[in-house]
Amino acid sequence: MAKTIEKAYEIARQVYGDLGVDTDAALARLERIAVSLHCWQGDDVGGFENPDAGLDGGLAVTGNYPGKARTVEELRADADKALSLIPGTHRFNLHAIYADMGGRRVDRNALTAEHFAGWIDWARERVLGLDFNPTFFSHPKAASGRTLSSDDEGIRRFWVEHGIACRRIGAAMGKALGTPTVTNVWIPDGSKDIPVDRKGPREILARSLDEIFAEPLDPAHNLDAVESKLFGIGAESYTVGSHEFYLGYAVSRGTLLCLDTGHFHPTEVVSDKISAVLMFAKELLLHVSRPVRWDSDHVVILDDELRAIAQQLVRGGYLDRVHIGLDFFDASINRIAAWVIGTRCMIKALLLALLEPVDVLLGAERRGDFTARLGLLEELKTLPFGAVWDYYCLRQSVPVGRAWLDEVRAYEREVLSRRG
């Protein structure tokens, strides 16, 4: 098996070499790209704070595939399984509701790094970076549909305190692990029906964010990001934190902007926004998802838009300014497989982009030879990419091709099916 893979790689290396593409260099670059796996695919955005609290905030997870993680130990074991089937060294993205409190109850505005010590140890042992998110939903104080934009000062203050607490936790994670944590603020605030006042809540939100970000933190430990959205379930008519709101906020305040691929009108694409936003924003966070007709958060697949996003990151030279995070939740299939499929697809898209003969393509474009440009782009689609991908998996000691599926099945039999 290994011999065949190596032979196929040797041929692929020559094919790409003829176009001026160095496959060894592409793999060396790929190895240094971390993808941040979102913890919440493992348990349908449940968390451990209150197992009976339903998911709200306009989010919805559908499906009831058996075996979901119910405890921090189970979630870590499942994540370990997924990570063992994904080539490369990556990151893990936590939400505040995943605090490891050992039975104690601490409200969200009182959370500290101590409540994430178990996660930090877990990440350190695996040489994983951590990313973080305050959780502004699934909580009684979010029930009105307004958090940081609330005109109830008590409610607003509570959520500001939560934001401040989470940035400090992010900084502690980043410091402990030697790689900055991206702490991303997303709030569900909006309204079901047409509001009279669209301005007021946005003024309150800007003030709340300024209060959250007031404390200077070392960017070597924590980076702040803000995430916009178009609408949520039950908040279809107005979203306080819209794209224009956060684009302006991020550029004026110097935070990162988070672009979630499901948070735009269905014919808008994030692949076109990257080069526009990076003209003015220092860095970007991506939440790579797959919207199907709406912000459905389907598992990421190797579709045209995923490929286009990766192409923009590589062609634009943006890999060091863009943090790649995943954001999907599907409970209708094995949750570990969902992580593996989505992450492997993200990495495949990056490899495809790294294997493009960018100079040849740019040459055609700059000469105005759009015939060659189109012809070449289409011919590239059938080059022996699979041989390079297989070789990468082999070298990274993870299953080649569909072999990972057998490992997920075995884990399902031995571990997930016993969860009752």
- Is there a catalytic annotation at residue 90? no
- How many C-beta neighbours within 10 Å does residue 356 have? 21
In this structure, the dihedral spanned by the alpha carbons of residues 145, 202, 183 and 259, taken in order and rounded to 10 degrees, is 100
What does 40 interact with, of ligand RNT, Zn ion, none (CB < 5 to 8 A by kind)? ligand RNT
Q: Cβ neighbours of residue 279 under 8 Å, at least 6 residues apart? A: none
What does 131 interact with, of Zn ion, ligand RNT, none (CB < 5 to 8 A by kind)? none
Tokens of 11: 């041929």
Q: Which of 44, 295, 330, 390 is catalytic?
A: 295
Query: Considering beta carbons, is residue 175 or 229 the nearer one to ligand RNT?
Result: 229
In this structure, the dihedral spanned by the alpha carbons of residues 98, 103, 104 and 109, taken in order and rounded to 10 degrees, is 10
- Contact criterion met (CB below 8 Å) for 229 and 242: yes
Contact segment (CB under 5 A) with Zn ion among 3-11, 134-142, 287-295, 383-391 equals 287-295
CB of 134 to ligand RNT, least distance (A): 9
One-character DSSP codes across 264-326: S-TT--HHHHHHHHTTT-S-EEEEE-EEESEEEEEPP-S-HHHHHHHHHHHHTT-TTTEEEEE
Plot region of 76 (φ>0 → left; ψ -120 to 50 → alpha; else → beta): alpha
One-character DSSP codes across 8-69: HHHHHHHHHHHTT--HHHHHHHHHT--EEEEGGGGTTT--SS-TTPPP-TT-------S---
* DSSP tag of 255: -
Query: Considering beta carbons, is residue 54 or 216 the nearer one to ligand RNT?
Result: 54
- Is there a catalytic annotation at residue 263? yes
- Is there a catalytic annotation at residue 40? no
Q: How many CA within 13 A on the CB side of residue 304?
A: 4
- Is there a catalytic annotation at residue 218? no
Residue 216 CA to residue 351 CA, distance in Å, equals 37
- Is there a catalytic annotation at residue 115? no
- Is there a catalytic annotation at residue 227? yes
Reference 167, options 96, 104, 106; nearest CA is 96
CB of 411 to ligand RNT, least distance (A): 24
Query: Considering beta carbons, is residue 41 or 208 the nearer one to Zn ion?
Result: 41
CB of 9 to ligand RNT, least distance (A): 37
* DSSP tag of 235: B
Plot region of 90 (φ>0 → left; ψ -120 to 50 → alpha; else → beta): beta
* Interface residue with Zn ion, options 44, 131, 260, 283 (CB under 5 A): 260
Nearest-CB residue for ligand RNT: 186
Query: Considering beta carbons, is residue 94 or 398 the nearer one to ligand RNT?
Result: 94
Query: Considering beta carbons, is residue 186 or 339 the nearer one to ligand RNT?
Result: 186
Residues making contact with ligand RNT (CB under 6 A): 40, 45, 59, 133, 186, 227, 229, 260, 287, 327
Residue 129 CA to residue 36 CA, distance in Å, equals 8
CB of 329 to Zn ion, least distance (A): 10
- Is there a catalytic annotation at residue 152? no
Q: Which of 43, 100, 224, 327 is catalytic?
A: 327
Amino acid identity of 420?
G
Task: Report if residue 167 touches Zn ion, rule: CB under 5 A.
Answer: no
CB of 249 to ligand RNT, least distance (A): 16
CB of 325 to Zn ion, least distance (A): 8
Task: Report if residue 287 touches Zn ion, rule: CB under 5 A.
Answer: yes
* Interface residue with Zn ion, options 44, 78, 297, 327 (CB under 5 A): 327
Q: Which of 119, 186, 389, 404 is catalytic?
A: 186
What does 45 interact with, of Zn ion, ligand RNT, none (CB < 5 to 8 A by kind)? ligand RNT
What does 160 interact with, of ligand RNT, Zn ion, none (CB < 5 to 8 A by kind)? none
- Is there a catalytic annotation at residue 320? no
Q: Which of 90, 162, 229, 273 is catalytic?
A: 229
Which residues make up the interface to Zn ion (CB under 5 A)? 260, 287, 327
User: Known catalytic residues?
Assistant: 186, 227, 229, 260, 263, 287, 295, 297, 327
